[in-house]
Amino acid sequence: MSEKKNTFEEIIRPILVLTVICIVVSGLLAGTHAITQPVIDANVKREADASRIALLPEADAFTQVEYADGTISEVWAADNGAGYVITGSAKGYGGDVPVMVGITAEGTISAIQVMDNDETPGVGKKVMEADFTGQFQGKTGSDGVDAITGATYSSNAVFEVVDAAMAAYQTVKGA
C-alpha cells in the first residue's frame, strides 16, 4: 500500500499540479489576448492610416480596394475622394524594395515613400532620401526621374513599383 502512495506522491501528483497550472496560465493568456488584441489592431490601423495620410494629406481616412498584381500588394482609396495610396515592392540589389505611392484624384503623384529595405547602405539606401523621392511629386510615373548613380537595381525597383502603382490607379479609379 505504501508503494502505491509513493507512486502517487512522486509521479501522479506533480503531473496533476503542473497540468492544473498550465490550464490556468493558458486561460489567463487567452483572456489577456482577447482584451488587448482589439487595442493592438486599432493602433496598427491608426499608424498605417497616418503613413498613408503623410503621402496624401488631403485624405481623411482610407478603405482598402481589391486589386491583384504581382508587384502591388495593397490599394487604399481615400474615403473623401482625394486619391489613392498604393503599396508594392520590386526586386532591388539587396532584396525587395517596398514603396508606398500617394496618387491624387487627378492622377499625379503627391509623394512616395521608400520603406525600410536591405539595399546597400550609402548607395542603394539613397532611394529612401528626399532628393530622390521628391523627384516623383507631380509626375504621372517614373519618366523624367533621375536614377541614383551606382544604384541602378535599387532605382529600377522604385521605378517599377511607381509605374505599377500608376497602372493600378488607372484600373481602380473608376471601380
C-alpha–C-alpha distance, residues 95 and 98, integer Å = 10
Angle at 72 between CA 45 and CA 59, to 5 degrees: 45
Instruction: Report the pLDDT value the prediction gives residue 2, as an integer from 0 to 100.
Output: 57
More confident residue, 159 or 44: 159
Instruction: Report the pLDDT value the prediction gives residue 3, as an integer from 0 to 100.
Output: 63
Calculate the CA 29 to chain-centre distance.
Answer: 27
**Maximal CA-CA distance, the chain:** 92
Is the pLDDT score of 175 beyond 60? no
Average pLDDT over residues 91-95: 93
- Average pLDDT for the chain: 92
Instruction: Report the pLDDT value the prediction gives residue 36, as an integer from 0 to 100.
Output: 95
Instruction: Report the pLDDT value the prediction gives residue 164, as an integer from 0 to 100.
Output: 96
* List of E strands, the chain: 62-65, 72-78, 83-91, 96-104, 109-114
Write the DSSP assignment of 93-106 as a string of letters: SSSEEEEEEEEETT
Instruction: Report the pLDDT value the prediction gives residue 77, as an integer from 0 to 100.
Output: 95
Q: How many CB atoms lie within 10 A of CB 168?
A: 24
**Pair 114, 134: CB distance under 8 Å:** no
Going by pLDDT thresholds of 50, 70 and 90, the confidence category of residue 172 is very high
Instruction: Report the pLDDT value the prediction gives residue 6, as an integer from 0 to 100.
Output: 79
Going by pLDDT thresholds of 50, 70 and 90, the confidence category of residue 134 is very high
**Pair 79, 168: CB distance under 8 Å:** no
